[in-house]
Amino acid sequence: MQIDLFDAQLTDGQGSEHFSASTGTVHLLADHRLILYPHFLSPRSAADFFSSIDASTPWWQGSLRIAGKQIDVPRLQCWMGDPHCYFAYTGLGLSPEPWSEPVSEIRNLIEELTGVSYNCVLINKYRNKNDSVAWHADDEPQLGPSPQIASLSLGGTREFQFKSKIAFAHEKRASRLMKYTLQLATGSLLIMEPGVQEHWLHRVPKSKLNVQPRINLTFRNIAK
């Protein structure tokens, strides 16, 4: 498999008080499409949403048991959504927090742009350069066989990396060729179309640079 990248304009900017420009760029990971809207929210709206989401979200510190020790995950989290949306988290079924007003508003804006419905969202807060999320795919069975995920970023720019699942299972030399990195800046919206979660892992690595705090929201859909 070969990474094949090209840029294509999708739509032109349109009127909404929040949209800066809804022009998207397609990035191909082999046969699977990412669409990046770098200026989905204006810088002002992104800053306002960062503050209101940061203040209104019931942040939660998750932990994992590794080699007999309970270790904090390196970020804060919140699972939000419709009441039926349970989240499988290290063997636990987490109940969702009810939709907050700013998160609900962002969901409406994304649904308006993409024409796809989302009924739950995982919100991550990266407090500093040491916060991160390890390689994984959003491929939990309750998301269905081929989910579309919409990922909105607010605050400091972070690297978002992809790695082929096949390469991950084999040697390091192959995996180097199968990596792809995007910079996710504030106000950007990344759509990971069906197919991406089945074939690719993603992560946000720790940063070498000092970065501003960042909030990321990955909108998903769980069938009733």
Ligand X SMILES: O=C(O)CCC(=O)C(=O)O
Residue ranges that bind ligand X, judged by CB under 6 A:
122, 124, 133, 138, 151, 160, 184, 202, 204, 216, 218
CB of 91 to ligand X, least distance (A): 17
Position with the least CB separation from ligand X: 216
Beta bridge partners of 204: 133
| Residue 2 or 206 with smaller CB distance to ligand X | 206
| Residue 67 or 92 with smaller CB distance to ligand X | 92
CA distances from 52 to 124, 126, 221 (A): 15, 16, 24
CB of 218 to ligand X, least distance (A): 4
**What residue ranges in the chain does DSSP mark as E strands?**
25-29, 32-37, 63-66, 69-72, 76-81, 87-89, 92-94, 120-126, 133-136, 149-155, 158-164, 179-184, 189-192, 200-204, 214-220
| Residue 36 or 167 with smaller CB distance to ligand X | 36
CB of 177 to ligand X, least distance (A): 22
CB of 214 to ligand X, least distance (A): 7
CB of 68 to ligand X, least distance (A): 26
| Residue 14 or 146 with smaller CB distance to ligand X | 146
Residue 97 is encoded by which pair of tokens? 């927090």
| Residue 16 or 206 with smaller CB distance to ligand X | 206
Cα–Cα nearest to 196, from 136, 137, 116, 135: 137
Please name the residues in contact with 93: beta carbons below 8 A apart, sequence gap of 6 or more. Answer: 86, 87
Alpha helix (H) residue ranges in 172-224: 172-177, 196-199
